[in-house]
Structure 1
Amino acid sequence: MRLHFIAIGGSAMHNLALALHEKGYKITGSDDVIYEPSKTRLNNKGLLPKQFGWFPEKITKDLDAVILGMHAREDNPELARAKELELPIYSYPEFLFEQSKEKTRVVIGGSHGKTTITSMILHVMNYHHKNVDFMVGAQLEGFENMVHLTQENDFIVLEGDEYLSSPIDRRPKFHLYKPNIAFLSGIAWDHINVFPTFDEYLEQFKIFIDSIVKGGILVYNEEDQHLKQLVEESTNTIRKHSYRTPDYHVENENTLLHTPEGDMPVAVFGEHNLQNLAGAKWICQHMGIDEEDFYEAIASFKGASKRLEKIVETKNTVVFKDFAHSPSKVMATTKAVKEQYPDRKVVACLELHTYSSLNANFLKQYESSLNAADEAVVFFSPEAVENKKLEPISKEQIFEAFSRTDLTVYTNALEFKNYLQEQQYDHKVLLLMSSGNYGGLNFDEIKNWVS
């Protein structure tokens, strides 16, 4: 097949392009800008566009299909040409479904933990040499790409995002996969720009549950009351398997999971991650891995990229980088780090970077989310607020939202960097939470400040 990618440089899009290239498809693409590591990875396979920009002449009748990325605009000139020629136009999730129609589709959804849970499952499968197709939202140790597609594998594991599919397809991605085996980790309001009320957001998960194929399986977190109610109310003829946080304890800054074979040390920590682990175990069992083999494999799982990732460790200091940005994840991550390091001072820094987090009406959702930290810092860029065409927010609004009187707030990237540089790091844990980079912070520099 000959395929053209509009907005090929995106994290998900370039990984799909690479996977289809490996499968033998003829791939071309366009984008107005491509950043690293996408740029080098595409270039290494001969898929990097020779020029940046949009070129309608690239869209010809001999293309079998066009794949449209979320980064492209609705008035994209290449998209207009594809419509004019009446070519098949797919969103990213639509094309993944096309690639997986004959497979057993395992879809991992939920407001939080999707990437970690998908990564756990893939780690276990890889450990036991079970070959599966997949799409995951982070680079994993032992895997070359974030997307892998074959003709022969029976299973495909898909991270099921609830965000929109493309500029011309306003359905959430996870509505398009029609899972045989589905997973939901929980529901916490997000993407306020698309789902302005919690009820609208909740409805997307109801639709997802109803999209599970008849006779399929849903594994869900019974400790999430909103999710539990949705599952109990569903009339879809599926099997429903619940899970909850397993028993564990922390000893000398190590987490020990209670298993039928006794206490087992694990590299991941925090109630939310162990909850993720319990759910991943159920999915792996439905994919043919027994409980004992799951525990053997998961003991060596260190986490997904940017998910509570340890970037510095010295005798007296630890620094973590985490993708946490939603209120529930910020609270869970901060609590987890303090629980793991109860005798050290935990400094938690959060960048408000997403559309939701920078929305004045949504800010109150962050109340108490940083309370587990000994010292709490919030950074946001007024320019980012302006670029997202949102109402300006003040430091006072941040103080009020987080309900923490000793909170420190920075709006200048250089001042925040200086704060980090001047820290005394002895006997501390630094937690940096963001889906951005704090206005250009070089995380490698932190190693020099700590040592």
Structure 2
Amino acid sequence: MNVHFIAIGGAAMHNLAIALHNKGYQVTGSDDEIFDPSKSRLAAKGLLPETYGWFPNKINANLDAIVLGMHAKADNPELLKAQELGLKIFSYPEFLYEQSKTKTRVVIGGSHGKTTITSMILHVMHYHDKDVDYMVGAQLEGFEVMVKLTEDNDFIVLEGDEYLSSPIDRRPKFHLYKPNIALLSGIAWDHINVFPTYENYVEQFSIFVDSVVKGGSMNYNEEDPEVKRVVEASENTIRKLPYRTPEYSVEIGQTLLETPEGPLPIEVFGKHNLNNLAGAKWICQHMGIDEDDFYEAIATFKGASKRLEKIAESKTSVAYKDFAHSPSKVEATSRAVKEQYSDRRLLACLELHTYSSLNAEFLKEYKGALDAADVAVVFYSPHAVEIKKLEEVTETQIAEAFEREDLIIYTNPNDFKQFLFTQNLNNTALLLMSSGNYGGLDFDEVKGLIN
């Protein structure tokens, strides 16, 4: 097949392009800018466009398919040419479905935890040399790429994102996969630029549950009231299998998972990660891994990239960075680190960086999110608010939203860095939460603070 990618440089798009190239497809692509790691990965496979920009002359009748990325606009010149020629145009999730129609599709959905759960499943499969196709939203240890597609594998494991499919397909991605086996980890309002009301957001998960093929299964976190309500209200003729957080303990900074064979030391920690682990165990059992084999493999799982990732440690200090930005993720991550290091001061820093977190109305959702921290810091850039064309957010609004009188707020990257680099981190757990980089913070320099 000849496939052309419009906006090939995206995190998901470039991985799919490489997966198809590895499968023997003829792959071309365009983009107006491409950054690392996408740039170097595409270059290594000979897929990096020679010139950045959009070139309608790349679009011709010999192309079997166009894959359209979210970064492109609806009036993209290459897209318009493809439409004019009547070519088959797929969104990223549509094309993944086309590639997996004959496979058993395992789809992991939820506002939070889906990357970690998908990563856990793939880690267990990899540990036991069971080859599966997959698409995951983070780079995993031992995996060269984030998307793998073959002709032969029976299973494909897909991280089910609720964000939109493409500029001309406004359906959430996870509506398009039609899972045989599905999981729903949690529902907490996010993406308010697309789903302006809580009810509208929750509705997307109801549609996801109803999209499971008849006779399939939905594994769901029964500790989340909204998940429980949505799944149990569905009239879809599927098996509904609840899971909950397993018993565990923390002893001197080590989390021990209770198993039939006794306490098992594991690398990940925090109630939310143990809940994720319970969901992953169910899915792995559906895929032929028995309980003992699951425990053996999961003991060596260190976590997904950027998800509660330890970046430095000494005898008295530790530093983590985490992709957390939504209120539920921030609260869960903060509590997890405090529980794991209960005898240390928790210095938790949060960057408000997304459309949702920089929205004055949505800010109220952060009430109590940093309560587990001994010292709580919020950084946001007024410039980022300006770029996103949002209404100005004030320090007063942020302070009132978190309902924490001792909250420290910074709007200047240099001031935040000055604060951080003058802290005495002895007997401290440092937690940096953001989907950005605090206006240019070098995390390698941060590592030097831990000694």
| Corresponding position of 2:318 | 318
Taking every aligned residue pair, what percent have the same amino acid on both sides? 72
C-alpha separation in 1, matches of 2:407 and 2:296 = 42
Gaps of 5+ in 1: none
Shift of residue 166, structure 1, vs aligned partner: 0.4
Give the match's secondary structure for 2:107: strand
Is 1:433 aligned to 2:433, yes or no?
yes
Which deviations, in whole Å up to 9, do the C-alpha atoms of 1:145-194 show, x marking residues without a partner?
A: 00000000000000000000000000000000000000000100001011
Deviations, residues 320-359 of structure 1 (Å, cap 9, x unaligned): 0000001001000000000000000010000000100000
Alpha-carbon distance in structure 2 between the residues aligned to 1:398 and 1:45: 46
Alpha-carbon separation, structure 2, partners of 1:447 and 1:212: 44
Aligned position for 1:369: 369
Q: Please give the alpha-carbon distance, in whole angstroms, between the structure 1 residues aligned to 2:447 and 2:114.
A: 29
State the alpha-carbon separation in 1 of the partners of residues 434 and 446 from structure 2.
Answer: 16
Counterpart of 1:186 in structure 2 is 186
1-structure distance, mates of 2:440, 2:59: 36
CA positional deviation for 1:448: 2.0
Distance in 1, matches of 2:135 and 2:9, equals 16
Who is 1:54 aligned against?
54
SS in 1 for 2:278: helix
Q: Residue 423 of structure 1: CA displacement?
A: 1.1
Q: Which residue of 2 aligns with 1:123?
A: 123
- Give the secondary-structure state (helix, strand or coil) at the position aligned to 1:34: coil
Tell me, in whole angstroms, the C-alpha distance in 2 between the residues paired with 1:445 and 1:228: 44
Q: What residue number does 1:299 align with?
A: 299
Alpha-carbon displacement from aligned partner over 1:89-137 (angstroms, at most 9, x marks no partner): 0000000000000000000000000100000000000001100000000
Residue equivalent to 2:40: 40
Q: Distance between the aligned counterparts of 1:227 and 1:368, measured in 2?
A: 22
Correspondence list, 1:49-448, <5 A? 49-448=49-448
Question: What residue identity is the alignment partner of 2:424?
Answer: Q
Alpha-carbon distance in 2 for matches of 1:253, 1:165: 41
1:420: how far off? 1.2
TM-superposition CA deviations, 1:341-379 (whole Å, max 9, x none): 000001000000010000001000000000000000000
Distance 1:448 1:182 in 2: 42
1:201-244 per-residue CA deviation (whole Å, 9 max, x = no partner) reads 01000000000000000000001111111111111000010000
> Residue 385 of structure 1: SS of its match in structure 2?
helix
Q: SS of the residue aligned with 1:79?
A: helix
Deviations 1:410-443 (A, max 9, x none): 0011111111111111111100000111111110
Counterpart-to-counterpart distance in 1, 2:110 and 2:101: 23
- Residues in 1 aligned to 2:354 and 2:418: alpha-carbon distance in whole angstroms: 24
Q: Distance in 1 between matches of 2:317 and 2:358?
A: 31
Deviates further, 12-21 or 418-427? 418-427
Distance (whole Å) between structure 2 residues aligned to residue 365 and residue 359 of structure 1: 10
**TM-fit CA distance, 1:310:** 0.2
Deviations 1:371-425 (A, max 9, x none): 0000000000111111111100000000000000000000011111111111111
- Structure 1 length normalisation: TM-score? 0.99
Q: Deviations over 1:238-288 (max 9, x none)?
A: 001000011001000100011111000110000000000001000000000
SS at 1:432 equivalent: strand
Distance 1:90 1:58 in 2: 17
The range that moved more, 96-105 or 423-432, is 423-432
Amino acid at match of 2:379: F
User: Which secondary structure does the structure 2 equivalent of 1:111 belong to?
Assistant: coil
Q: Distance in 2 between matches of 1:139 and 1:14?
A: 13
Q: What CA distance in whole angstroms lies between the structure 2 residues aligned with 1:186 and 1:388?
A: 27
Once residues 313 and 73 of structure 2 are traced to their aligned partners in structure 1, the CA distance between those partners, rounded to angstroms, is 43
**C-alpha distance in 1, partners of 2:57/2:437?**
37
Distance 1:448 1:256 in 2: 30
- For residues 442 and 9 of structure 2, the distance between their equivalents in structure 1, rounded to whole angstroms, comes to 22
User: What's the Cα RMSD here?
Assistant: 0.6
Amino acid aligned to 1:339: E
Partner of 1:40: helix, strand, or coil?
helix
Give 3-state SS (helix, strand or coil) of 1:436's partner.
Answer: coil
Q: Distance in 1 between matches of 2:229 and 2:399?
A: 34
Partner AA of 2:133 in structure 1: D
- The alpha carbon displacement at 1:65 in A equals 0.8
Paired with 2:347 and 2:67, the residues of 1 have a C-alpha distance of 43
Tell me how far apart the structure 2 counterparts of residues 440 and 30 of structure 1 sit (CA, whole Å): 28
CA distance in 2, matches of 1:450, 1:250: 23
Q: Deviations over 1:291-310 (max 9, x none)?
A: 11100000000000000000
Aligned to 2:18: 18
- 1:143 aligned counterpart, secondary structure: coil
Q: 1:449, CA displacement in angstroms?
A: 2.7
Residue 83 of structure 1 aligns to a residue in which SS?
helix
Corresponding position: 1:450 with 2:441 = no
Instruction: Give the stretch that moved more between structures: 364-373 or 418-427.
Output: 418-427
Query: What corresponds to 1:30 in structure 2?
Result: 30
